[in-house]
Amino acid sequence: MATAQVDASKVNGTPSIMNTLGTSDQIVKDALEGKHVLQKLGKDDILVEDEELLSKEFINILRELNGEDIAEVVKECHTLAASYQTSGKVEDLKRLEKIINELSPGESIVATSAFSHILQLSNLAEEVQIALRQRAQKKSGHFSDEAHGMTESTIQETFGKLLNSGKTKEDIHAALKAQCVDLVFTAHPTQAVRRSLLQKHFKIRNILSALHSSAVLSENEKNELLESLRSSMQGAWRTDEIRRTPPTPQDEMRAGMSYFHETIFHGLPRFLKRVDTALFSIGIEERLPLDTQIFKFSSWMGGDRDGNPRVTPPVTRDVLLLSRLMAANLYFHEIEGLMFELSMWRCSDKMKQVVKEVVAKQSGKENVQRHYSEFWKFIPPTEPYRVLLSEVRDKLYYTREHFQAQLEGRQSYTDEAELVLRTDDLLDTLKVCYDSLCATGDKAIADGRLLDVMRQVQAFGMSLVKLDIRQESERHTDAIDAITTYLGIGSYKSWSEEDKQAWLLKELQGKRPLFGADLETSDEVKEVLDTFRVIGEFPTESFGAYVISMATSPSDVLSVELLQRECGVKTPLRVVPLFEKLADLQGAPAAVERLFSVDWYRKRIDGKQEVMIGYSDSGKDAGRLSAAWQVYVAQEDLAKVAAKYDVRLTLFHGRGGTVGRGGGPTHLAILSQPPGTINGSLRLTVQGEVIEQSFGEKNLCFRTLERFTSATLEHSLHPPISPKPEWRALMNELAATSVVEYREVVFKTPRFVEYFRSATPELEYGRMNIGSRPAKRKPSGGIESLRAIPWIFAWTQTRFHLPVWLGIGGAIKQSLEKNPDNLALMRSMYNEWPFFQVTIDLIEMVFAKADPRVAEMYDRLLVNSELQPFGEELRNKFRETKDFLLKIAGHNFVLQHNPQLFQRLIIRDPWITCLNVQQAYCLKHMRDQGHQMSVKSPLATAVNPIFGTATAPPKKSDELLQLNQTTEFAPGLEDCLILSMKGIAAGLQNTG
């Protein structure tokens, strides 16, 4: 990993970060000379000074609240870790290990938490730096993704590119009107930071932005901002970082939906206004039509029950009610705001008639009290817009009460006519207002806040997000089997695929009910049937897709169609097969073709089909390179099958946050997809910490929406090149060879599982309480049963990232031994083919975050001596792979092409190393059943001259031991481990 040189000087008693003004070229020069010295990259680089400010303020808070001694320990650990990262001297690492290992339990918690907090603050400083630099770069016409150093475009710049490539403004306008990106928020356990802390981080981020974005701040204003910054930082420090109980699916849903309240709900209309402006600039003289849906928003939170027994039918019902309650609440406040805005008296004849009817209905209700803060009295007919909107507000008021009562299990006695239950109920009324304003010459007013609210209603509907349901195919098979057994026609499970299809199609085309209340079922089958019954209770617009995991045959899809009908789902959800493992991806095109060959099903889908491609399990199953290539090929072949049957295909990409699970920069992930596979329609998951990184702040939200829109439009109108035959042949060879080596190590090496569980915190992963989903699909089993998230998480924590690179080096080596000219061919692939370049660059980025020396420390402390040579063998493969990738990319060192990310890793590296040392020793002691943490503080001994020998151990830290009353380990151990996990995740900006 990139290493750091820390200036020995101090600024106000805190470690100083060098503030030499440098350039990208200087960064490269220093790296080549082995000097990884932190420098500013230009005059607009405010990251260094923000890091300086935050570290100074945090150390002062630490000193004030926890004592001078522990503050000095934290600084000394940083100095030693930085020195070790630069020089590689074992003495520095040993001194760091000694200091950390000899801390008392309370001091260990304080120090570990301090390392973690500093890294979280670094994240906030980086986000502010990126947002401010991006705004500055817009003026220069150059825009880059600072997270990865790869060029991307604003929406207006994308229009310019497309026009220069020969597209017309009408082409662009037509493509935008037909385009739709559906972002699916998932509850995969990758968000390691508590929501309580995220709220405080939100404030800190805004304060930093305010300190830089205001052109002129008075001294008083600056001091007030700094005071607020200190308050928020101290609030974060005083908050328990550890989630003491596992979150429920409802908790996860609330956390995910908080981003809609904070940024997305208001950020979307703001972005759509920017799209309108960009269209005006190229000569399109109209706004995007109201029925255009550039974005949709969906969720798996409370709907994804595959392998998660905590997601039950009552949970799904709660989540559906919660999202509808949240939507009603948001619209209530928007309508109240519109009542202020639309104070006009002129209106169309149609509106006059509607208002007349409203006034007549309200007759006699003038004195009804609903305790509104604004417009609480009767509104006269001379304010027609307010009269009409007041009725909408009343309905939304009762709608909130209705959903609240249902959530609490109370009976709601409100007449449905008094509620807003469907999107059109709200949108139609707003359209009356819009049309009236336009008809009376007030289109400028109509296109203001009213248009924003209408666009919100169009995008979010009355459910805020559409809930997907996901279940594993075998569960549906069990339910159908119970039904056929009940009917006395045998066991469905024993039938051939042809017999299954024939029976399912016969029943789908018939009308008889298949079972009654006397159907005897297991708990698992009852859960499946009850889930379908819950779907039938809610409007169709509350739902997205029904996703089937492990779907391999047409009967898997047809069985869900039949179960929907039998359980009272009036308008069935679209059914989406999910292909995840390597073999499933390889068989996906044939499976979908078999499905399309069923006449009944083709009529049912009306020319539209969605197919989900899983990145996580395929990567765990086959390694990154082979999985990435098979995902690419599967998409090509699925597009061909869809074209053959004249079906519009939407691919649903199940991407995670890490490279090992398909993560990467949004715009390049889209632009590197095969040509002909997007066509303006895209669906993908947004998981865990990626939600925070994409939508945690209003400018991040805006930029995320712009990235998706620009890249999808560019891919549709100006798709990337298809791979040349020789590129395709070489990729087939590399993928086939890499999967053999990967599986040889992971699945066929007898003691690999033992090594994996010894050298990583995989066994301890569940203690973090970061998600409701179990780490394994089955309680027992090895790597096969382990979910992709904890698999990636464990290797990420030790900074070895084995799933990302294993197999690649061996494949390249074998290819070059076979034909040395293949190096030149790989270089041409890297320079000319987006897919290959993105794949190599992302793996290179992972190498920048990795450190085999740290992984070696874990081995030394945790792994049986007989297995340590195996660890060294893996580290040799790591180094070999890294060297090969640098040769292909033409780089002399990792991230040579990305000085911004290189700079940020220099800042992070020492703090992460401190956490790695703490974690390794925690694991060592937790696995030693007889271990007791030292009760004697090293601060009272001469560990280092800076501490002295007369200082008594601080007492304040001991109170932290009281937060964990249920631990089975020595005091402080479990909390230190969890804090180290969270801190490393923050430092690497990835968990799983």
Q: Please list the active-site residues.
A: 188, 620
- Compute φ and ψ for 5, nearest 5 degrees: -110, 120
Q: What angle do CA 937, 941, 945 make, to 5 degrees?
A: 125
Q: What is the 3-state secondary structure (H, E, C) of 371-437?
A: CCCCCCCCCCCCCHHHHHHHHHHHHHHHHHHHHHHHHCCCCCCCCHHHCCCCHHHHHHHHHHHHHHH
Give the DSSP letter of residue 449. Answer: I
Burial class of 250 by CB neighbour count within 10 A (0 to 12, 13 to 18, 19+): middle
Tokens 């993928």 belong to which residue?
A: 735
- Compute φ and ψ for 609, nearest 5 degrees: -145, 140
Both tokens assigned to 360: 């007549």
| 16 touches 7 (CB < 8 A) | yes
Task: Give dist(CA 974, CA 518) in Å, integer.
Answer: 50
- Compute φ and ψ for 735, nearest 5 degrees: -65, -45
Both tokens assigned to 122: 């670094």
Both tokens assigned to 307: 């392998």
| DSSP per-residue letters across 76-95 | HHHHHHHHHHHH--HHHHHH
| Nearest Cα to Cα of residue 445 among 340, 291, 342 | 342
| 904 touches 47 (CB < 8 A) | yes
| DSSP per-residue letters across 546-599 | EEEET--SHHHHHHHHHHHHHTT-SSPPEEEEEE-SHHHHHHHHHHHHHHHT-H
| 265 touches 705 (CB < 8 A) | no
| DSSP per-residue letters across 707-735 | HHHHHHHHHHHSPPPPPPHHHHHHHHHHH
Burial class of 473 by CB neighbour count within 10 A (0 to 12, 13 to 18, 19+): buried
CB neighbours of 805 closer than 8 A, spacing ≥ 6?
624, 843, 846, 847, 878, 881, 882
Tokens 């590129």 belong to which residue?
A: 727
| 56 touches 947 (CB < 8 A) | no
CB neighbours of 585 closer than 8 A, spacing ≥ 6?
579, 613, 618, 627, 630, 631, 634
Q: What angle do CA 4, 8, 13 make, to 5 degrees?
A: 115
Task: Give dist(CA 339, CA 726) in Å, integer.
Answer: 64
Q: How far is CA 683 from the centre of its chain?
A: 14
